[in-house]
A = this chain, B = another copy of it.
Amino acid sequence: MEIKIMKNILDRNQNKANEVRTLLASKKIVMVNIISSPGAGKTTLLERTCEKLGTKFKLGVIEGDITTDRDAQRLVKYDIPIVVINTEGGCHLDSNSISKVLDSFDLDNLDILFVENVGNLICPSQFDLGETFKLAIVSTTEGDDKPAKYPMLFRESRAVILNKIDLMPYTNFNYKSFRDDLTKINATVPLMEVSLTRGDGLDKWYEWITEQIISPDNLH
C-alpha cells in the first residue's frame, strides 16, 4: 500500500496522548476509548450505562463522529456533560482533538469519561488517545470472523462486548469459531455477551465497569 501513517504523525499523537493520560490520572478520571464497527452498539451501551450508573458516578462523554451529532442527541436526556468532535471525514479520533476538548469538562467533577470513537474497526485501534483502556464492541450480526480479521483491536482491548446475542439464532454466527479466534489473539480478555436493546447480560457489564472506575490500579 502506498498510503501509510508516517512515524512522525504517530510520535506526535503519542506525545499528546501521554499528556492526556497524565492529566486524567492527576484528576483520578478513568477514560474508556470505545471502538466498534458502525452500528455495533456504542451509543446504546452509553445509554444503558447512563441509566444504570449515571447517579452513582459522575460520567462524561466525548462523541466522535464524521459529520453529525446524532449520537450525542441520543444522550442529552441524561444529565451528563457531552462534547461532540466532528472529524469532517477523518476516520478516527486522535489525542490532539481529545486534549483540546478536555477543557470543556469540569475535570474535578468526573469519575469516568467515555469516548465513543468513530465507527471503524481499523484506524481507531492505531491511535492512542491517552485512554485508561480500550473497549471493543462487536455484534453477532457482523459475523464471527471479526477478531481474526481485525486482530489489533482485540489484542489491545481490556474487554470485549459481544452485542446482539438475541439475534444470534437468526444468523450464521459460529460462537465457537469466534471464541477460538479471540482466545488466540487475546487469551485472557474478558468477554461480556449482551443484548443492549433487550438488557440481557448487562449486570456483568455494570459490575465490570464499576470495578474499573473504583480500582486504584486505573488511577496512576
Query: Residues on A close to B: CB < 8 A?
Result: 1-5, 9, 12-13, 37-40, 65-68, 70, 85, 87-94, 96-97, 118-123, 126, 139, 141-143, 145-146, 148-152, 164, 166-167, 170-172, 197
Contact = CB atoms under 8 A, between A and B. Distances in A.
23 contacts: A1-B85, A1-B88, A1-B97, A2-B12, A2-B13, A2-B97, A3-B90, A4-B90, A37-B37, A38-B121, A38-B149, A38-B150, A40-B142, A68-B148, A68-B149, A70-B148, A70-B149, A119-B121, A119-B149, A123-B123, A139-B141, A167-B170, A170-B170
Given A9-B3, A39-B142, A120-B122, A149 B87 contact: no
Contacts of A39: 37, 141-143, 145-146
A96 B13 CA distance: 27
Contacts of A97: 1-2
A37 B3 contact: no
Chain A interface secondary structure, helix, strand, loop or mixed? Answer: loop
A145 B66 contact: no
- Copies of this chain: 2
A145 B118 CA distance: 14
Contacts of A197: 171-172
B37 A119 contact: yes
Contacts of A85: 1
Nearest to A36: B38
A86 to B, nearest CB: 9
Contacts of A145: 39, 70
Nearest to A148: B68
A139 to B, nearest CB: 7
A150 B152 CA distance: 24
Contacts of A91: 91, 120, 122-123
A168 to B, nearest CB: 11
Given A1-B94, A2-B9, 5 more contacts: A1-B93, A37-B119, A38-B142, A66-B150, A166-B170
